[in-house]
Structure formats: structure tokens, C-alpha cells
Amino acid sequence: MKRVTQLNRIIIVLTLVAGTTSLPTLAAPAQINRYTDTRRPLEQRHAEITQLGKQGDAQSVQTLMALGNSDAYTRVKAIESLGKVGPHRAGLAKSRNGGTDIAAYLRDKLHHPEPGVACAAIQSLVRIEGTNALDDVRAFLGRNRERIDGFQSVVLPLGVKALAGIDDPRSVKLLEREIDEVVKPIQEFEYGSHIVGALARLGRMEGRAVLTSYASWLQSQVPANNPMVAEYIRAKREEALEAAERIGNPVQQGGVR
């Protein structure tokens, strides 16, 4: 009995030391099992997990975090749903009952080895932290340029997509950096298309200049002796020019920033 008591004390101390990224109170196993039970339709479980994020109370947040810490297939959906808890305003990334730092939890998940978990975390973090997540996105894009699992072609576009949700001129600069440091050196044209799409969604005039410059570079990459490749690159150039034109057209863009 004495050994059990000592062990319990150790567990309590470790829980306190773990800080705000750990769960204040672990969700009951029965509550978590409801969302991991493969006998229940996946669509239904996903819908219920999404609802937990919309509710945003402390118990719902704890359940989502517990799911995110599990090996369940639904953990990605749980991390996505944490992005629905707080409003899209910097500094308000906490549950309405307080005490649970969702932003810290998500920042920890950015380093998760599974691509789906890390990508869900960056998108949720941007939703609840806004411009406060810019440095996180910058670091996320930088360290995922090369991955042991080879999934950089999956992770980087989702990082860029998240960046498109931060309406700030610094987002444009980060996207321009990706063009200069990733797309151009290795002619990663498909990644370039994702960046073009992100610049178009941002709709900032700074982005128009980046797009026209990128289109000019693409033109310089058109080979003279390979018609198939030439046609492919010209299509990418037209894509960039069309995106720039949409930014310059307030009617199409819905207002230029």
C-alpha cells in the first residue's frame, strides 16, 4: 500500500510539472471511447467531435485533447476541432472556462511525426491565434522542407494554406520566401501553384507584385527543345498571371486590401 501511495504522488508531481500542454483533468475513458469506437459510423463520430469544438467548454476541450493524444484514427479530427474553440483573434486561444491553453497544446503538436497531426495543428493554431501564429508558420515551413518520411510535398502545401488565413503583409513575405528558397532552386512548380493560390486568397496588393515576378521567372524557365515541358510551365505562368489579375480587380476579388 505504501508503494502505491508513493507512486500516486509521483504521478501527481509529473502531471503538475508537465505544464499547460497536458490535460488538467483527463477525460473519462468512456467519453473518449465513444469517439474511437469503430463500430460506430466514422461520419457520426466526426460530426460529434466537431460539435465538441463548437461547444468549447472545458470538458469538451479536455476530451478533444485526450483524443488528440491517442492513437485513434479520429485524433486528426479532434485537433482540427480545437481550432473551432476560440475566436479568430490573437491572444484568445483558451477555452471559455479558462485554464486550458489550447495554443500551447497545438504548438506542441506542430512537431508530431505524423503529417496529418502536424498539419491539423498548424491550421487550428492559425484559426485561434491569427497573426500571433506567424512565427509558428514560418518555423513550420522551414523545418518541413525536408522530412524523413518524404511527405514534405503534402505538409508544405497545407502550411501555405494555413498561412493564407492570416491577412497580414508578412504572410505575403513568407510566401515570397517559399518561392525564392524552395520553388526556384529545384523548380518545384506544383508547390508554386499552392503558393499562387494562397496569394490569391490573401488578395493583398503586395501579393500581386510577387505573382507577376514569379510569372516572369516561369517564362524564363520555358525550354526551347521540350514542347511538353514548355506547355506545362506556360500553364503555370498563366495561372500566376490570372491570380495577379484577380487581385487587381476589386469586383472579382471582393475588395483589395
Alpha carbons 183 and 186: distance in angstroms, whole number: 6
pLDDT tens string 72-94: 889 999 999 999 986 544 444 44
When divided into structural domains, the chain yields a total of 1
- Among 180, 177, 184, CA closest to 221: 184
Residue 149 belongs to some domain of the structure? no
Q: Could you tell me the three cell numbers for 77?
A: 479530427
Q: What is the DSSP letter of 94?
A: B
Instruction: Determine the structural domain holding residue 224 and report its residue range.
Output: 167-257
pTM: 0.81
pLDDT tens string 197-216: 999 999 999 999 999 999 99
Residue 54 belongs to some domain of the structure? no
Residue 211 belongs to some domain of the structure? yes
Residue 210 belongs to some domain of the structure? yes
pLDDT at 10 over 50: no
Residue 71 belongs to some domain of the structure? no
Residue 222 belongs to some domain of the structure? yes
Residue 180 belongs to some domain of the structure? yes
